[in-house]
């Protein structure tokens, strides 16, 4: 049955949902207050990686011991702003608990893997349809370490990855040098995960998906959703800030880090926070790395994009409204010099662009996908944290299956918003 579905948010999740819903024959309206794929969205400035191997959540056993350091060092790879701590505490407690044992981390990894598994192929198909297939590649991703002992210090994470089916090639110092000559010599051990891929320009990709959705009949409205009109558990309309009510049979909440209030309006209180992240892009870097690189001592992704070398990473727990701390992006830029000695020493200010964005992160490391408590006509599709670009394509397929009443490709139970 053809239904009118209102998709709230045009980041990667909303854009991909719109296409999958149109494919199933539904009428689609997309609500987005900013530009689809624009700088406001996490989907614009992320690390560009499509990594089925990214199954390990941020929280791990013993991580609570690091909390004082996160509060003390505003420029460390993970930082908490003091002023935000009281509001953060309930989420932080759940977050620390979610990774308290190896068994918990392994359970999260097993639940995440199906959402990530076929990501590069699924994105390639979506991108091909939208005429931007060249943006998606599957060349593998290099994880580089100071030595084998450095790699083994992350033993639990790699053990769990292997248990979920991730395979890799181990590279000696010589092999690493041959694969990636631009790397600094201090890295003497590498792991190449060949199943991983890259979306070279995620902002352009999302914009192209939304244009494609429009060409298939979607109505794109520059509007912000603020709630729902629900009668007898049936959705009647999505309420907007500027355009009044939009009559709807179904709605998808895909507003990324801004989804919490909409989820509450749909009857679900979810522990959603923003893990703010940063990037620095160096235009004309004078080097041409062959692989995306994850340096063990940098906690960041180093990737080539059409705009230049992008260094993406950092986690800052400071809420949706605090001003960016651009010194964090400077840290990323400066660390890049120690990864790639061939980078110019005196970069002109106009050669470097900084960005800050909001990862939508649920405390237990899994997204919310599935029907809402107040009405099954409203479907949650948010909270993908560090892996939303990768997981966006399979999330969209699952959302379309739930709305169209078809058997789901993957088991949706682990992502239920009612699990809290
Ligand atoms: C530094 C960094 C590096 C990352 N690296 C990677 C990576 O390499 N690989 C990976 O898979 N993931 C990565 N991520 C995570 C990934 O970017 C996110 O998980 C993903 O982009 C989330 O997509 P989304 O569509 O849910 O949200 P967003 O992209 O944030 O989009 C949400 C959209 O909803 C709109 N919106 C907000 N409120 C409303 C409203 N009320 N009504 C209508 N619309 C609304 C917003 O304007 C926005 O456009 C990274 C994130 C960061 C910050």
Nearest ligand 1 atom to alpha carbon 14: 25
Residue nearest to atom 39 of ligand 1 (CA): 255
Total-model pTM: 0.98
Q: Is the CB of 10 under 6 A from ligand 1?
A: yes
- The DSSP letter of residue 135 is G
**Counting beta carbons within 10 angstroms of the beta carbon of residue 234, is it exposed (0 to 12), middle (13 to 18) or buried (19 or more)?**
exposed
Q: Which two tokens stand for residue 269?
A: 């209180």
What is the distance between the alpha carbons of residues 18 and 8, in angstroms, rounded to a whole number? Answer: 10
49-50 sheet: strands from edge to edge: 49-50, 197-199, 136-137
* Integer angstrom CA distances of residue 353 from 169, 208, 263: 34, 23, 34
Q: Which residue has the tokens 């709630």?
A: 227
pLDDT of residue 306: 98
On average, the pLDDT of the chain sits at 97
The count of residues in the chain is 420
Cβ–ligand 1 contact at 120 (below 6 Å): no
Q: Which residue of 40, 42, 44 sits with most ligand 1 atoms within 8 Å of its CB, as the best mutation to test the pocket?
A: 42
Ligand 1 centre distance from Cα of residue 40 (Å) = 8
With the most atoms of ligand 1 within 8 angstroms of its CB, the residue from 41, 77, 314 to mutate is 41
Nearest CA to ligand 1 atom 3: 46
Q: pLDDT tens digit string along 44-87?
A: 999 999 999 999 999 999 888 898 888 888 888 899 999 999 99
Q: pLDDT digits over 366-415, tens only?
A: 999 999 999 999 999 999 999 999 999 999 999 999 999 999 999 999 99
DSSP sequence for 24-68:
TT-EEEEE-SS-TT-TTSHHHHS--EE-TT----S--TTGGGGHH
- Ligand 1 centroid to 388 CA: how many Å? 7
- Both structure tokens of 331: 């840290």
Q: Which of 6, 11, 49, 272 has the most ligand 1 atoms within 8 A of CB, as the residue to mutate? A: 11
**What pLDDT, on the 0 to 100 scale, is given for residue 65?**
87
Angle between helices 102-116 and 388-404 (to 10 degrees): 70
């Amino acid at each position: 049955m053809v239904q009118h579905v209102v998709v709230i948010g045009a980041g990667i999740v909303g854009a991909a949902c719109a296409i999958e819903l149109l494919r199933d024959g539904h009428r689609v309206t997309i609500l987005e207050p900013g530009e689809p794929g624009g700088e406001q969205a996490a989907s614009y400035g992320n690390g560009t990686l499509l990594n089925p191997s990214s199954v390990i959540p941020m929280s791990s056993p013993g991580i609570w011991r690091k909390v004082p350091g996160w509060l003390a060092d505003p420029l460390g790879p993970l930082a908490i702003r003091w002023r935000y701590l009281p509001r953060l505490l309930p989420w932080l407690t759940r977050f620390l608990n979610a990774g308290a044992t190896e068994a918990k981390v392994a359970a999260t990894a097993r639940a995440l893997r199906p959402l990530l598994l076929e990501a590069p192929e699924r994105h390639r198909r979506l991108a091909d349809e939208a005429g931007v297939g060249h943006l998606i590649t599957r060349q593998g991703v290099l994880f580089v370490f100071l030595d084998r002992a450095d790699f083994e210090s992350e033993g639990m994470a790699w053990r769990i990855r292997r248990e979920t089916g991730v395979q890799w090639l181990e590279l000696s110092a010589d092999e690493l040098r041959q694969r990636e000559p631009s790397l600094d010599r201090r890295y003497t051990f590498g792991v190449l995960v060949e199943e991983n891929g890259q979306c070279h320009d995620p902002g352009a990709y999302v914009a192209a998906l939304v244009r494609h959705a429009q060409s298939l009949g979607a109505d794109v409205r520059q509007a912000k959703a603020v709630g729902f009109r629900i009668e007898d558990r049936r959705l009647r309309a999505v309420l907007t800030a500027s355009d009044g009510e939009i009559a709807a049979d179904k709605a998808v909440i895909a507003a990324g880090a801004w989804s919490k209030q909409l989820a509450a309006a749909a009857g679900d209180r979810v522990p959603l926070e923003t893990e703010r992240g940063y990037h620095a892009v160096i235009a004309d870097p004078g080097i041409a790395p062959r692989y995306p690189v994850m340096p063990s001592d940098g906690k960041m992704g180093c990737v080539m994009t059409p705009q230049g070398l992008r260094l993406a990473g950092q986690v800052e727990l400071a809420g949706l409204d605090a001003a960016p701390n651009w010194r964090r992006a400077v840290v990323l830029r400066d660390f890049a010099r120690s990864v790639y000695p061939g980078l110019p020493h005196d970069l002109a200010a106009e050669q470097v662009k900084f960005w800050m964005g909001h990862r939508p992160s649920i405390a237990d490391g899994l997204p919310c996908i599935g029907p809402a408590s107040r009405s099954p006509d409203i479907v949650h599709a948010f909270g993908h944290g560090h892996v939303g670009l990768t997981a966006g394509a399979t999330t969209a397929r699952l959302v379309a299956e739930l709305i169209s009443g078809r058997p789901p490709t993957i088991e949706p139970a682990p992502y239920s918003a009612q699990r809290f």
